[in-house]
Amino acid sequence: MPAGPHPCAIHAPAASFGGRRALAGRSRLRGMMKVMGTGTLRERAPTRGGPLGDLLDPATYRAALYVLLALPLGGTVAGLLTAAVVGGLLTLPILVGAAFLLLALWLVVALGEVQRLLLGLLGVQVARPAAAPPAGLLAWLGRTLADPVTYRTLLFHVVQLPLSLLCWVVLGTLLALEVLGLGAPLWAMNSAVPVVWGEWTLRPGPLSVAGLMLAGAGALLVSAGVLSVMGRVWTRLGIALLAPDGDGAARREVIALRRAAGRVALGDDLGVTLADLTEQARQASTAAAVALCAPDGTLRAVSGVPGPLPAPGELQPAPGEASVRALSGGEVLATLPVSLPASAGTLEGGTLRAWYVGGARPGADELAFLLSIADHAGTALHAAQLIERAGARAGELERARLARELHDSVAQALYGITLGAKTARATLERDPARTRQSLDYTIRLAEGGVSEMKALLFSLRPDALEEGGWWPP
């Protein structure tokens, strides 16, 4: 699926290989996410446009629609949960009640997802991380009862009905005032019956009607402001009770960063290190897949099933920036740079890419976590470069040592052999005894040279020499 045409960039300070700058990036990203309204939790910032600002704000009417639906939904939820719990308690002695209680627990979770969808009317997206399906009923029961979100969702169900009823009463009263005020020309001017209030008998005139209409317009403006306040109250209540457990996500991120730091410090094989980093990033985040890509776009390591890769030559985020954009298939792609230090000779270490299923977006904290993982990947790449350079330098030093050894031992022995052979040839006919001495000297030099050469070769490849029989046992 090709990438969609609506990218948005989230800027943060350049991430380094230290924790202090990573925390600074986390704080800056959190602020940018609040401004741009992107992320797993997205809250609409209140607008200000003068006295008519709330009346002209589309969010006010979305809040009105939410309040309109909240009361029937709250009544339905309360009725279903009450029936399931009461039925379970009444039939518990005959073991049927256990099924009703399990049904009540399932309704709490399922209706919580409905509540999260309804919060979209307020501009809030609460996306829970996609979890693997449980192995059985007991596993599901244990995981659901151990999840704090279950109890917060139940509390939201309990609060929704009375709070929405209160909202209906307030808005109903304001609506009645609006109808009476704005409809005054219809019921006051054409009425032949006077309005009696105690000992007073009032006959509305044009001035009274104008005052009533002004009061009705004021009630309309007040209703818009009250709806805006109600929208913010429901928004904060939904985020507080229906949002995923942030502490659990923070713990997973801390554990993943600690394991990533240990893996990088271990200095293991680069491919194994990068694969472990992508696995840690995927498990500790809400991403469906995480991959580390080279600057040319090729995959270095991947965890999960990745989405479409970018086209060659596509603009990459600058160091310290994170690009979050929607793809044409509804997925969301987050791209973060893998930066290398200046001593590496190049600042391009590739990118870290995270794919999210439709409806989920990474939050500010999660982007800061992924930036930290990208930093660890850059550290691993730099360490691999340093090891490669150290190996090359060690090879150069070893070659220089071998050259010195050959010059000091083998080369001198060969020179002595040559000199002894020439002496033997010159004295062969005139002085056989001296020739014999020269040949003995030459043989000793040759044997010493062979021993020196075997010692040098054995220091390089002792296993190969022993297997080939070059070195005596």
Among 5-14, 83-92, 309-318, 460-469, whose mean pLDDT is lowest? 5-14
What is the residue range of 442's domain? 391-468
Query: Do 135 and 259 share a structural domain?
Result: no
Residue-level pLDDT at 199: 67
Assess whether pLDDT exceeds 90 at residue 261. no
Assess whether pLDDT exceeds 90 at residue 414. no
At residue 24 the predicted structure's pLDDT band, cuts being 50, 70 and 90, is very low
Highest mean pLDDT among 71-75, 219-223, 231-235, 455-459: 71-75
Query: Do 206 and 66 share a structural domain?
Result: yes
At residue 170 the predicted structure's pLDDT band, cuts being 50, 70 and 90, is very high
Among 161-165, 237-241, 309-313, whose mean pLDDT is lowest? 309-313
Dump the DSSP string for 13-38: PPP-SSHHHHHHHHHHHHHHHHHHT-
Residue-level pLDDT at 314: 67
Q: How many residues does the chain have?
A: 473
At residue 33 the predicted structure's pLDDT band, cuts being 50, 70 and 90, is very low
Domain boundary among 358, 386, 414: 386
First to last CA, the chain: 66
362 or 7, greater pLDDT: 362
C-alpha distance from residue 78 to each of 86, 88, 210, 234, 326 (Å)? 12, 15, 45, 18, 37
Half-sphere exposure (CA, 13 Å, Cβ side) for 51? 6
Please tell me the distance from the alpha carbon of residue 200 to that of residue 190, in angstroms, as a whole number. Answer: 20
At residue 160 the predicted structure's pLDDT band, cuts being 50, 70 and 90, is very high
At residue 460 the predicted structure's pLDDT band, cuts being 50, 70 and 90, is low
- For 389, the token pair is 């350079």
Whether 46 maps to a domain, the answer reads: no
Whether 47 maps to a domain, the answer reads: no
Of 3, 23, 5, the residue nearest 13 (C-alpha):
23
Half-sphere exposure (CA, 13 Å, Cβ side) for 390? 6
Beta strand segments in 295-452, E? 299-303, 321-327, 332-339, 348-356
Domain boundary among 369, 386, 403: 386
Of 37, 39, 149, the residue nearest 369 (C-alpha):
39
Whether 276 maps to a domain, the answer reads: yes
Among 137-141, 178-182, 236-240, 354-358, whose mean pLDDT is lowest? 354-358
Query: Do 450 and 335 share a structural domain?
Result: no
Q: Any idea what the CATH number is for the domain that residue 375 is in?
A: 3.30.450
Give the tens place of pLDDT for each residue, 337-385: 887 776 666 656 788 888 887 656 787 778 888 888 888 888 888 777 7
Domain boundary among 386, 414, 433: 386
Q: Which residues pair with 11 in a beta bridge?
A: 321
Residue-level pLDDT at 178: 86
26 or 124, greater pLDDT: 124
Query: Do 431 and 321 share a structural domain?
Result: no
